[in-house]
Chains A and B, each alone.
Chain A
Amino acid sequence: MADFDAQVRKSQEQVAEAQAKISELTSRIETARSKLKTGDDIEIDIENATLDDVHAHAEVMNANIAELIMGLDDVTAGFSKDFDEMRSKTGWESFVGIFAQGKSESMRQERLRGASIDDKLQDLIGKSDVIVKLLEGQLAILNQHKAKVESNLTETLTDRETTVGELEGLRASILAMDPKLIELENKISVEQDAAARTKLESELAELNKQYNAMVQDEQVKLAKSQTLERYIEKGKTWVDSLQNQAATQMVLINKLQTDTKQRVVLYDALTKSLKTAQQQDVAHRINEIGVQTDKEAQSAMAGIGAATNQRMAEMMEAHEEHMVFARKVLEQKAKADERFARRFQAIVEKHDKNLYGG
């Protein structure tokens, strides 16, 4: 059990590392956000904060969690040794037993009377608490980051709404300009007087300039809206990942706490039933009871181990699935975006052609 402390230290380091990774990713998202405000291109920054990073990070976390659980299992493995010792004779007792059966038995009884696993139980509870606190710390960080990114996203969403609103306004004004342009063009085509025609033409040129400026503005706004949308998507993925990690941690904390409670009750009951059974009026059945209890303890403990491992595996698989799913969703989203952009472009082009076609 000496290396449990080392294990905890190692896990603490890993947690710190994981937290650094989370902070880095969040700060990248935030940098991108501040760049958004200044209107810089955020393409590269966001691409750096890829899903791969998130994925690698999740793996670090999972390994860390698995090791913590294994660490605690090592601690509990110590109990079965105690149970064995309580049931069997020590080397010296067996040796004495060769000469004096009664003396050997009374020595064993004396040892049994002195046996207690209360300190070990206390140790188990203490260590489980340490792990739970560690996990809780990590969970708090995860939640904190999630809240940060979420508030960030809310702000960005508002931004995007405004941008889209502006875009729509622009489009409406562009549309409103159309009849004016057509009217002017018609006027020019029927105007005979050169001076009036020149005046009309300069008017048209002015209007066209305005129109072009607006169209250009539309492009800028469109690009901004798209960038914002991309940012939101990335942010959402990160929030999802954080949420998922937090859920894993919560499940794990819960599991650990429940397990520890069960273990305390189980080991305590086993020790005490051993003590009681071996001391009290069932001396002739000691062997039977001993064997029976042993079997039960072993199967019960195997149950704990198996359940924990299974849960871990399931959680890891679920996480993996989730990550794959998230990636798929994102890919589909990207495709849809692309399709949308392509289609949208066609519409814009058509629109443009209509305007300039005259």
Chain B
Amino acid sequence: MANIDLTRDYKPLDDDLAARRYFAKFDRITRLMVGVADEMEAEGSLSGLDSDVLEGYVRAISAAFKALSLKYLVSGRLDGVGQKHLTIDLHESGFPIFQELVTMANDAAQAARHLEGLPESARLKDEMIRQIVGERVVPTRLQFALSQRLYYQALAKGGVFYPQMHPQAQWLADLGEGRRRFLVHWAVYDSQLNVPVVYLMEVEDSGRKALPLDERRWPEAQAHLLAQSVGGLKLITIAKGFDTDFDDLHPKRLRRLHLGPMYSSAFTLQTGPIREVLDEAKSPVGEDWALAWAIEELESDRVELEKSGWFSSVEREVFRLDPFSGRGADTGATRMTRSLILPQRPFQVLAEKDPEGFRDVRKFVVGREGRVMVYG
């Protein structure tokens, strides 16, 4: 790359302690996400099923972070070869870069083989003690081996967030006349924003065979949805495309949740009011962050019949768009809700300053004992 550096936003966490703090922070944040999902369920903006699905993904994210923290636990202390650090995107993301997740997915595919080759943890610990007592040195290599073993074990156990979480369908209701309603949900790690994104789509299926059992349509639909899970595409484009390509699947409601970015005065670079808020809060370690959540939602307004070929016709959805869309940016969605999860201290500064851009943002405030409350 002669003149442009495309990875300018990337930053390896080469300070061991900083990396641990980073993981500790995310461990806390991901646990809080579950609380936020519960809170949303309680106030009715998410259904019970939605919040269960969301919790599943949040748990997977948390497992991925745990695995990554094991992977990089000791590797920063190795001399020379093998020294590796977690790379995060520090601008408008705060999450590890896409490549870390892909590498982890590649590792997961080979976890079993790695585990075969690595010695048992009991043996490693035994050797460690021997090295500590006998040679009186820090057994860095052995610690590294053990951390890698634990990493692969965590991957082998499964349930971690991959760059692509393939679509799953949950039955919602039988609508009669051979129609069924499903909740199709999937998630991707957006490679451009470096943020996990969850998609929830309610779809009516008028096919002869139920969608998840249809070996012809289901894999095709899965591939289509994953290929279209691009952050740059508006919901209306995704839904329209899906509606066009699958005649007997009718997307009724499509939601997209961006579970990020994470802002932290210690780790990330940010611009605008959030920077001042975090700077002025001067929060103690572990409380200097804010996590943004955006939910885009697109609903079907009505159905029109469109001729397909000479004798048949297919239903085509017409989606309801934001009535105010002409005014601001064209969102391509029916509505958009932005939320911010942040600890008490930065929230107080935010409430005092009351910057304009944050007035219509819902704030989920985390109390000292981990309780989540909603403001705004």
Contact = CB atoms under 8 A, between A and B. Distances in A.
B195 to A, nearest CB: 14
Q: Is the interface of A mostly helix, strand, loop or mixed?
A: helix
A269 B226 contact: no
A303 B230 contact: no
B98 A280 contact: no
B273 interface: no
Interface stretch (B209-217, B233-241, B253-261): B233-241
- Which of the four size classes fits the interface of chain A? 35 or more
A114 B246 CA distance: 12
B227 A115 contact: yes
A276 interface: yes
B313 interface: no
B contact patch SS: loop
B133 interface: no
A211 B6 CA distance: 78
B6 A262 contact: yes
A279 B231 CA distance: 13
A306 interface: yes
A110 B233 contact: no
A114 B225 CA distance: 8
Interface stretch (A92-100, A120-128, A350-358): A120-128
A266 B81 contact: no
A125 B87 CA distance: 15
Contact of B102 (A110, A122, A140, A279): A122
A264 B241 contact: no
A272 B99 contact: no
B103 interface: yes
Interface residues of B, number: 37
A7 to B, nearest CB: 18
Contacts of B230: 272, 275-276
A306 B2 CA distance: 8
B81 A279 contact: no
Contacts of B87: 261
Contacts of B245: 110, 113-114
A276 B232 contact: yes
B35 to A, nearest CB: 32
Contacts of B105: 122
Contact of B191 (A143, A268, A300): A268
Given A125-B99, A125-B103, A269-B192, A303 B3 contact: yes
8 contacts: A114-B224, A118-B226, A121-B102, A262-B1, A272-B191, A272-B230, A280-B237, A307-B1
